[in-house]
């Protein structure tokens, strides 16, 4: 099992104004002369915690991380206006140009895998490689599984808490019911819904229950951005023109070196999506971790991702 690289601080931080409304916060760490790689965090709305830096060899990689619109240190906080998949794809390109990078490897898990696919399929010539984890393609069956019926059969205790803010007569469409509350003018209604939504995801993300993760996701500031932005994207079907857009456009990226890492017991982004992507894209290396759920910090997933980043660091 591979362990994380030692903790380190960024050598550069900055803010990039990407629209009249939004400014994104970015950082660079590792080696300024190393291979460029950009990390696309999950959520949407999850932000980049410092431990993400530890998945990358500090002497080989020039690691770029940024908080997507509305979350982390980006401003304005929890903002839904001008916040779509294609806005984020454009932000990645603006950041690449701002940093003077010709091509970079793209690393993304969960929603980050969605955004990685959308970005690479839009700008394939800018991608030197793809490292994907916990595949999510924002299709209706994936949303239904986690937010309506499916995961509830495996985590009925956590599901009961997730249902509490929603009256019984609205539970036939939980994403819509949550969206109503997460966009309520009543901030207490917003916060109650945001905490329940976020805790549901934290409760199901790991193979083994993690109270520290629950505590992080229950934090008011984190939960408000995470839940509001996720629900905004999900009620709008990810702003994708067709449900299978990311799967049908695989031909645009099949020449790019890629690896897909998937936990066998991932109930947030179940393995069927990774499997269907693998079947459509056999050129990509496909790694199933037999004793893992969704989280990138689970030992098997962590180890596979570090092995992948080490391998891709040697590509020219």
> Residues with catalytic annotation?
110, 266, 294
Q: Residue 173: how many CB atoms within 10 A of its CB?
A: 14
Contact 137/246 with Cβ under 8 angstroms?
yes
Beta pairing partners, 289? 263
Residue 181, H or E segment: helix 174-182
Separation of alpha carbons 50 and 65, rounded Å: 10
Distance between CA atoms of residues 250 and 121, nearest Å: 7
Geometric angle at alpha carbon 315, from 127 and 33, rounded to 5°: 80
Residue with tokens 């294609």: 86
DSSP-based helix, strand, coil % in the chain, nearest 5? 45, 15, 40
| DSSP annotation of 237 | G
């Amino acid at each position: 099992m591979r362990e994380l690289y030692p903790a380190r601080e960024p050598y550069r931080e900055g803010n990039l104004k990407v629209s009249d409304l939004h400014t994104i916060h970015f950082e660079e760490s590792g080696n300024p002369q190393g291979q460029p790689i950009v990390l696309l965090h999950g959520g949407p709305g999850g932000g980049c915690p410092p431990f993400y830096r530890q998945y990358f060899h500090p002497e080989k990689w020039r690691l770029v991380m940024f908080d997507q619109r509305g979350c982390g240190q980006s401003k304005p906080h929890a903002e839904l206006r001008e916040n779509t998949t294609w806005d984020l794809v454009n932000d990645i390109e603006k950041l690449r140009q701002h940093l003077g990078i010709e091509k970079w490897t793209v690393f993304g898990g969960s929603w980050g895998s969605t955004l990685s696919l959308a970005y690479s399929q839009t700008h394939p010539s800018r991608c030197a490689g793809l490292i994907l984890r916990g595949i999510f393609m924002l299709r209706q069956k994936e949303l239904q599984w986690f937010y309506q019926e499916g995961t509830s059969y495996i985590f009925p205790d956590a599901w009961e808490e997730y249902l509490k803010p929603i009256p019984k007569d609205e539970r036939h469409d939980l994403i819509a019911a949550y969206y109503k509350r997460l966009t309520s003018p009543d901030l207490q209604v917003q916060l109650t819904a945001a905490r329940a939504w976020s805790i549901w995801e934290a409760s199901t993300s790991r193979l083994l229950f993690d109270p520290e993760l629950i505590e992080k996701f229950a934090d008011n500031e984190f939960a408000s951005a995470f839940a509001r932005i996720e629900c905004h994207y999900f009620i709008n079907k990810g702003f994708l023109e067709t449900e299978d857009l990311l799967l049908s456009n695989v031909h645009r990226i099949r020449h790019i070196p890629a690896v897909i890492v998937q936990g066998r017991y991932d109930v947030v982004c179940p393995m069927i999506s990774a499997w269907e992507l693998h079947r459509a894209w056999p050129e990509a290396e496909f790694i199933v971790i037999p004793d893992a759920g969704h989280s990138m910090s689970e030992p098997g997933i962590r180890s596979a991702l570090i092995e992948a980043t080490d391998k891709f660091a040697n590509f020219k």
